[in-house]
Amino acid sequence: MHKQWDIDSLTADIIKRIKERTLADKNGKLPSERKLMDYYNVSRYSLRQALSKLSKLGYIYQIQGRGSYIHEHRYQANLMTQSDLGFTEDLAREGKRIQTVGATQRIVSLSEIDFYPSNQQFSDDQLFIEVERFRTLEDKPYLVEHSYYLPEIVGEISEAAMYGSMFDYLSKEKGLTVGFIDKFIRCELLTESYAKFFQLATDMPSLTVRDDSYLREGELVAFSKIYYDYRNATLFMHKKLLD
């Protein structure tokens, strides 16, 4: 292949081949860096820059020592539609009263964050807006939302947004459209401060939803853990496949 590839054109061609399913093996694994470098006749630096962009766009995830894999959630995003509302916004739409009774935010470094998407790589100097919100449902403790937003995308988060709908804020105030959300539901143990809010003992179980939110263009904008009181939480999700 004699074409001269810059990072943008290299990234675009790899995306094209991912969508055509002509690049990865049956397990979704991409060829090794050496094979890709030889195929495109590019340097290791150029290839890694392209792979980094693909990771940030959500097309691939990288596992240390094992290689790069296609992120099927991202690839399949155009095959289905699904509500981009959070569970709390769905409840509010039904007429139930949800309130944020406490909220904090601060700027933190990569070394200070408690969790992040396993398929995402960040530079050592990446900063995040850490947000914690304590919310009630019909005046009873309902959930704690622990989130990280990328400040270079969302800018400053206003006090009004902290106590309102973050989806509305991103859409109406920032002009950002959340295109798809990966959700991972599991059980975790409550920390002392979260247990106190729920009026439960420390280390009691909590139904936890991990959210990774991506813009329509595929760029990660935020990731969260939402802790629900297991005694009151009922989660419902409806997914409609396009005809």
Say whether pLDDT at 91 is over 50.
no
pLDDT tens per residue, range 178-218:
877 888 888 999 999 999 999 999 999 998 999 998 887 77
Instruction: State both tokens at 39.
Output: 């195929």
The token duo for 166 is: 């973050």
Of the CA atoms within 13 Å of residue 52, those in its CB half-sphere come to 10
Domain boundaries of the chain, sorted by first residue: 7-70, 79-236
Give the chain's mean pLDDT.
83
Dig out the tokens for 3 from the structure. 């074409």
Tens of pLDDT, residues 22-60: 998 887 889 999 999 999 999 999 999 999 888 877 788
Q: Which pLDDT score is estimated for 77?
A: 41
Correct CATH for 79-236 of 3.90.550.10, 3.40.1410.10, 3.40.718.10, 3.30.460.10: 3.40.1410.10
DSSP helix/strand/coil, 62: strand
Burial label for 144, CB within 10 Å (0-12, 13-18, 19+), is buried
For 225, the token pair is: 């853990």
Query: With bands split at pLDDT 50, 70 and 90, how would you rate the model's confidence at 157?
Result: very high
User: Tokens in use for 178?
Assistant: 């959340």
236 confidence band (pLDDT: 50, 70, 90)? low
- Percent of the chain's residues with pLDDT above 90: 47
Whether pTM exceeds 0.75: no
Contact (CB, 8 A) for 226 and 144: yes
Class of domain 7-70: mainly alpha
